[in-house]
Amino acid sequence: MAEAQLEIAHPPLPDTGPRYLNRELSHLSFDERVLALAEDASLPLLERVRFLAILSQNLDEFYQVRVAGLKEQQAVVPPPVSPDGLTPGEQLSAIRRDVDALEARQSRVFNQDLLPRLAQAGIHFLRTVDLNHADQAYLADVFNEQIFPVLTPLAVDPAHPFPYISNLSLNLAVMVREPLGRRSRFARVKVPPVLPRFIPFPEGRGFVPLEQVIAAHLDVLFPGMEIVGHHPFRVTRDADLDLVDDEAEDLLAAIQMELRRRRRQAPVVRLEIDSGMSEEVLGLLLRELEIDSSDVYLIDGLLDLGALWAIYQLDRPDLKEEPWAPVTQIRLKEQNADGEGAELFDVMREGDVLVHHPYESFATSVEAFIDAAAADPGVLAIKQTLYRTSGPASPIVRSLIRAAETGKQVVALVELKARGDEQANIAWAQALEEAGVHVVYGVVGLKTHAKVTLVVRHEPDGIRRYVHVGTGNYNPRTALTYEDVGLLTADPDIGHDAGELFNFLTGYSRQRQFRKLVVAPLGMRANLTQLIRREATRPDGRIVLKVNHLVDPEIIDALYEAAQAGVDIDLVVRGLCALRPGVPGFSQRIRVRSIVGRFLEHSRIFRFGSDREGVQYYLGSADLMPRNLDRRVEAVTPILDPALKARLAQIMEVVLSDDQLAWQLNPDGTWEKVPTRRGINSQRRFEELALARAQGLIVRDGD
Instruction: Report the alpha-carbon distance of residue 472 to residue 64 in Å, rounded.
Output: 23
Work out the average pLDDT over 255-260. Answer: 50
For 386-395, 453-462, 485-494, which range has the lowest pLDDT when averaged over its residues? 386-395
Instruction: Report the alpha-carbon distance of residue 584 to residue 288 in Å, rounded.
Output: 53
- Residues with Cβ within 8 Å of 590's Cβ and at least 6 positions away in sequence, in order, are 559, 560, 563, 569, 570, 571, 579, 581, 582
pLDDT at 129: 86
Measure Cα distances from 577 to 10, 22, 23, 88, 552 in Å: 19, 8, 7, 19, 9
Could you read off the pLDDT of 353-403 as tens digits, one per residue?
999 999 999 999 999 999 999 999 999 999 999 877 665 578 998 999 999
For 67-76, 300-309, 518-527, 692-701, which range has the lowest pLDDT when averaged over its residues? 692-701
630 vs 614, more confident? 630
Work out the average pLDDT over 201-227. Answer: 93
Per-residue confidence band for 703, with pLDDT thresholds at 50, 70 and 90: very low
Q: What percent of the chain has pLDDT over 70?
A: 89
pLDDT at 447: 86
Could you read off the pLDDT of 414-446 as tens digits, one per residue?
876 545 555 656 666 777 888 888 888 767 778
Measure Cα distances from 155 to 150, 231, 492 in Å: 16, 15, 67
Residues in the chain: 703
For domain 23-106, is the CATH number 3.40.50.2300?
no
The yes-or-no verdict on residue 177 having pLDDT over 70 is yes
pLDDT at 252: 45
Q: What percent of the chain has pLDDT over 90?
A: 76
Q: Is 416 in contact with 256 (CB distance < 8 Å)?
A: no
Q: Tell me whether strands 185-190 and 170-177 are parallel, antiparallel or unpaired.
A: antiparallel
Instruction: Report the alpha-carbon distance of residue 622 to residue 637 in Å, rounded.
Output: 11
Instruction: Report the alpha-carbon distance of residue 534 to residue 313 in Å, rounded.
Output: 50
* DSSP 8-state code for residue 201: P
Measure Cα distances from 353 to 349, 399, 463, 466 in Å: 10, 21, 21, 12
Per-residue confidence band for 241, with pLDDT thresholds at 50, 70 and 90: low
CA angle 63-69-73, nearest 5°?
140
Identity of residue 580:
R
CA torsion through residues 695, 700, 701, 703, sign: negative
Per-residue confidence band for 476, with pLDDT thresholds at 50, 70 and 90: very high
Quote the CATH superfamily of domain 330-506. Answer: Endonuclease Chain A (3.30.870.10)
| Torsion angles phi and psi, residue 271, rounded to 5 | -125, 120
Instruction: Report the alpha-carbon distance of residue 530 to residue 631 in Å, rounded.
Output: 20
Measure Cα distances from 310 to 38, 532, 538 in Å: 16, 46, 54
- Residues with Cβ within 8 Å of 391's Cβ and at least 6 positions away in sequence, in order, are 397, 424, 427, 428
Per-residue confidence band for 255, with pLDDT thresholds at 50, 70 and 90: very low
Q: Where in the chain is the domain with CATH 3.30.1840.10?
A: 125-245+267-291
Instruction: Report the alpha-carbon distance of residue 241 to residue 418 in Å, rounded.
Output: 10
Could you read off the pLDDT of 602-612 as tens digits, one per residue?
999 999 998 77
Work out the average pLDDT over 146-159. Answer: 89
Could you read off the pLDDT of 521-538 as tens digits, one per residue?
999 999 999 999 999 999
pLDDT at 510: 72
pLDDT at 553: 96
The yes-or-no verdict on residue 225 having pLDDT over 70 is yes
The per-residue pLDDT of the chain, averaged, comes to 89
State the fold for domain 519-694: Endonuclease; Chain A (3.30.870)
pLDDT at 15: 60
pLDDT at 419: 53
Helix (H, G, I), strand (E, B) or coil at 619: strand
pLDDT at 444: 74
17 vs 276, more confident? 276
In the annotation, is 449 catalytic?
yes
Class of residue 377 by CB neighbours under 10 A (exposed 0-12, middle 13-18, buried 19+): exposed
Could you read off the pLDDT of 630-675 as tens digits, one per residue?
999 999 999 999 999 999 999 999 999 999 999 999 999 999 999 9
Work out the average pLDDT over 80-84. Answer: 92
DSSP bridge pairs for 616: 608
241 vs 44, more confident? 44
Among 551, 491, 556, 568, smallest CA distance to 528 is for: 556
426 vs 96, more confident? 96
pLDDT at 234: 97
Q: Where in the chain is the domain with CATH 3.30.870.10?
A: 330-506, 519-694
7 vs 581, more confident? 581
Instruction: Report the alpha-carbon distance of residue 375 to residue 371 in Å, rounded.
Output: 6
The yes-or-no verdict on residue 11 having pLDDT over 80 is no
The yes-or-no verdict on residue 700 having pLDDT over 80 is no
Per-residue confidence band for 584, with pLDDT thresholds at 50, 70 and 90: very high
Could you read off the pLDDT of 281-308 as tens digits, one per residue?
999 999 999 999 999 999 999 999 999 9
- One of 449, 468, 549, 602 is an active-site residue; which one? 449
pLDDT at 394: 84
Identity of residue 437:
V
CA angle 611-615-621, nearest 5°?
145
pLDDT at 244: 40
* Helices (H), ranges, 385-464: 395-405, 422-434
Q: Is 532 in contact with 562 (CB distance < 8 Å)?
A: yes
State the fold for domain 125-245+267-291: polyphosphate kinase like (3.30.1840)
